[in-house]
Amino acid sequence: MAAGKTTRARKRLTCSLALVGAWAVGFAGLAPSAAAADMRAEQWYLDAMHVDDIWKKSTGKGIKVAVVDSGINASTASLKGQVLEGVDVTKTDGKTDDYDGHGTTMAELIAGTGRDGGIQGLAPGAKVLPVRIGVKDSAYDKNAWDIEDAIRAAADTDARIISMSIGTEFKTDRMVKAAQYARSKGKLLFAATGNNGDKDNKRSYPAALPEVVGVTATTSEGVVAEFSQHGSYVDLAAPGKDIPGWCDAKFTQYCTGQQGTSHATAIASASAALIWSAHPDWTANQVLRVMFESAGKGEDWKGKVSSHAGHGVVRPNAHLTRGLGKPGDPGVSPLADENTAAAGGGSSASPAASASPGTSAPGSSQSPQDAPAPGSTVAGSSENAAKADDGMPLGLVLGGAAAVVVVAGGAFVLARRRRTP
């Protein structure tokens, strides 16, 4: 049965767009270059985002982020004391250990402390809650409704933010209803748009659901990466290229040079945690509206929303230290022109028809530092129309990409293929 289509009432730019200031100025000297065991030195975007200024205002304290992924290894140096009791929806052993390494990387990008040279999270005061799912061809791929069950499970926790560095080409009625349920519970949902923007650029779910914030990846030069999938479902952009992460589930080494909208999604989720921590009484709608209004845009930005970068590049510093962005009506969703419950209620979009689960289911004014850089461009600027939805069995893939250099315990080249949307 073919899955139904859901359309958001938004205007999209159909041209290449320059991104803003801090994302295009001064990046030349931020390439990874430090000692092998120091991951903080590999995280070029932290300096670009002015984290030292951000952390004087907010560290994400008091905010919990549900990480829907391959699980989380709570014993890594950077995550000790940062991981809460989670949920296993794979229906295997009931544990939330990470069988891949991907979920732990995402968790560290969000809330890692950076202890012992580990990955430094953008919101180190936040806590992460694992919601473990299976992926295609993994031993944990037992549940045909992993994404749907994971969204509902995350919605039933006290996590305010649901971070999903996953994606599939297919949606189901059950997925649509799960996202609506999560929004009705006041959750703020982020998901990876996918890494095939320079290939087939198929629409990715749950990112393309109207209740979910679709996140695309940018480079250290401040442009949208060519691999980032684009279309009407892109809402925000965040750093997603040349990011460190765990090489595999052995957790003995980090790899540098990873890329993907997965990493961007984790960083966008951490940005939301920083803002929400500073304004704990706000709703999900208000946090997201401030993220949209304070996002970095370029001097050639001719409209509200870009099909490559959405509302722009996340800049929590712009709000936290300079007050850019207004929360607005707590009951109005910035994702569409509609009224929602004050808690951040779900969309009124009609549900999609069910797809067969199958066996492959598991997926204002700017300061000088923010001045736009002349001549900046968006990589991969062709506007490919999103492919029609297809009611095929779900095939979930994690949103990371290749890692090229292993660090910690000696550096050497590693060619590792990661499943990418």
Q: What is the mean pLDDT of residues 99-128?
A: 97
The answer, yes or no, to whether residue 16 has pLDDT greater than 70, is: no
Higher pLDDT, 16 or 401: 401
Q: What is the mean pLDDT of residues 220-241?
A: 96
Examine the residue annotation and report whether 102 is marked as an active-site residue of this protein. Answer: yes
Tell me phi and psi for residue 21, to 5 degrees: 10, -100
The answer, yes or no, to whether residue 394 has pLDDT greater than 50, is: no
Q: Which entry of 16, 50, 100, 102 is annotated as an active-site residue?
A: 102
The answer, yes or no, to whether residue 187 has pLDDT greater than 60, is: yes
**Hey, where are the domains in the chain?**
21-416
Higher pLDDT, 20 or 183: 183
Q: Confidence class of residue 63 from pLDDT cuts 50, 70 and 90?
A: very high
| Distance in angstroms between the alpha carbons of the first and the last residue of the chain | 22
Residue 61: both structure tokens together: 């304290």
Q: Which entry of 16, 50, 58, 69 is annotated as an active-site residue?
A: 69
Higher pLDDT, 181 or 377: 181
The answer, yes or no, to whether residue 13 has pLDDT greater than 60, is: no
The answer, yes or no, to whether residue 140 has pLDDT greater than 80, is: yes
Average pLDDT, the chain: 77
Give the pLDDT score at 167. Answer: 94
Give the pLDDT score at 37. Answer: 56
Most confidently modeled of 288-297, 364-373, 406-415? 288-297
> Of 172-176, 185-189, 342-346, 364-368, which range is least confident?
364-368
Phi-psi region of 231 (alpha: psi -120 to 50; beta: other; left: phi over 0): left
Q: Which entry of 165, 220, 262, 306 is annotated as an active-site residue?
A: 262
C-beta separation of 236 from 215 below 8 A: yes
Q: Confidence class of residue 365 from pLDDT cuts 50, 70 and 90?
A: very low
Tell me phi and psi for residue 287, to 5 degrees: -60, -45
Q: 21-416 in CATH: which number?
A: 3.40.50.200
Give the pLDDT score at 336. Answer: 72
Q: What is the mean pLDDT of residues 61-80?
A: 98
Q: What is the pLDDT of residues 207-228, one digit of tens each?
A: 999 999 999 999 999 899 999 9
Q: Is 177 helix (H, G, I), strand (E, B) or coil?
A: helix
The answer, yes or no, to whether residue 418 has pLDDT greater than 70, is: no
Q: What is the mean pLDDT of residues 175-199?
A: 97
Inter-CA distances, 73 with 8, 80, 102, 396, Å: 37, 9, 10, 21
Give the pLDDT score at 398. Answer: 53
Q: What is the pLDDT of residues 252-309, one digit of tens each?
A: 999 999 999 999 999 999 999 999 999 999 999 999 999 999 999 876 666 678 999 9
Give the pLDDT score at 348. Answer: 31
Q: Confidence class of residue 11 from pLDDT cuts 50, 70 and 90?
A: very low
- Which of 15, 56, 70 shows the shortest CA–CA distance to 249? 70
Task: Give the Cα separation of 317 and 58 in Å (integer).
Answer: 10
